[in-house]
Amino acid sequence: MNKRQINGYSVNPIGLGCMNLSHAYGHPPSNEAAINLLHEAIELGVEHFDTAALYGFGKNEALLGKALKQHRDKIFLASKCGMAGVNGKRVIDGRPKTLRSTIESSLTRLNTEVLDLYYLHRMDKSVPIEESVGELSRLVTEGKIKAIGLSEVSAESIMRANSVHSIAAVQTEYSLWTRNPEIAVLETCKHIGAAFIAFSPLARGFLTDQVTSREALVEGDIRRGMPRFNEPHFSKNKQLLSALKSIAQSTHLTLAQLCLAWVLHQGEHVHVIPGTQNSEHLADNVSAENIVLSAEQLTQLSALFSPSSVSGSRYPESTQAEIDTEEF
């Protein structure tokens, strides 16, 4: 793969988002199956693995700690703090003492002495971002983390945080059907020299036509509560897929390859971390890195999924209120 930079480290730009191995989408696989998939990812050249204290309320970090310990010197390991499970509930807490407590637990679960990248998973709106990042900067000084990242924040918040300590990466949802980073965050990351990490670059399975209806999703799947996966929005959005399939067929690419290649073409500082539980999908995703799309194809895809053509917000109102990103 043609590698890209995160905090001075060269990594393959297609990483692995590990959330759905423990959390959020359908039924998680067995630990054995999840570990096998993580090892397959390494064999395919994946280096960047992304997890969080929130995922499975610690189970995902423990899974990666077990699966990746013997490969620790070969991989780029990222986790997150500031949002975790407390007494069975998801809680956003950006207070310095909480972030310090979380890193100690994360390092233990991940079987490592230091993390390559540590994100503030959500900005706690009751705590100035400067205070949260200030504590993370002390973790850098102490050698517990090598770099600081932010997740789901605005360009303004990125600059405020960067004034306290250099921000190495910003992670936000970005795909053909979620274009909010184009408002300001993509350019801001480029301006300060931060990597931009696109999560859900395949729109939580929508862009690969893996979701046939809301009713087909199992109880507990977070997509069941997302407006775009509910009517009347879902039927309207599905209409966009026929044109996308035609473009994929004309380019002899799979839907996943086409959509991931489009994201990677949005800047040399852009990385993607699609998640999967499926070995074939994993190999398909990884194969997208070397695909070159023409300017005409890129324009055609961008126009097909313009923000005005996508129906529904990406989060329910309660979740939307928690994030800091600019919205169309």
Residues annotated as part of the active site = 55
Cβ contact 75:51 at 8 Å: no
Q: Would you say 272 and 201 are in contact if contact means Cβ atoms under 8 Å apart?
A: yes
List the structure tokens of 223. 């997509």
State how far the Cα of 269 lies from the Cα of 272, in Å rounded to an integer.
Answer: 10
Cα 100 to Cα 87: distance, rounded to the nearest angstrom:
19
d(CA 58, CA 300): 41
- Exposure string (b/e) for 251-286, b if CB count within 10 Å is 16 or more? eebbbbbbbbbbbbbbbebbbbbbbbbeeebbebbb
Measured in degrees and rounded to the nearest 5, phi and psi for residue 199 equal -95, 160
CA–CA separation, 206 vs 179, rounded Å? 15
For residue 142, give the 3-state DSSP assignment.
coil
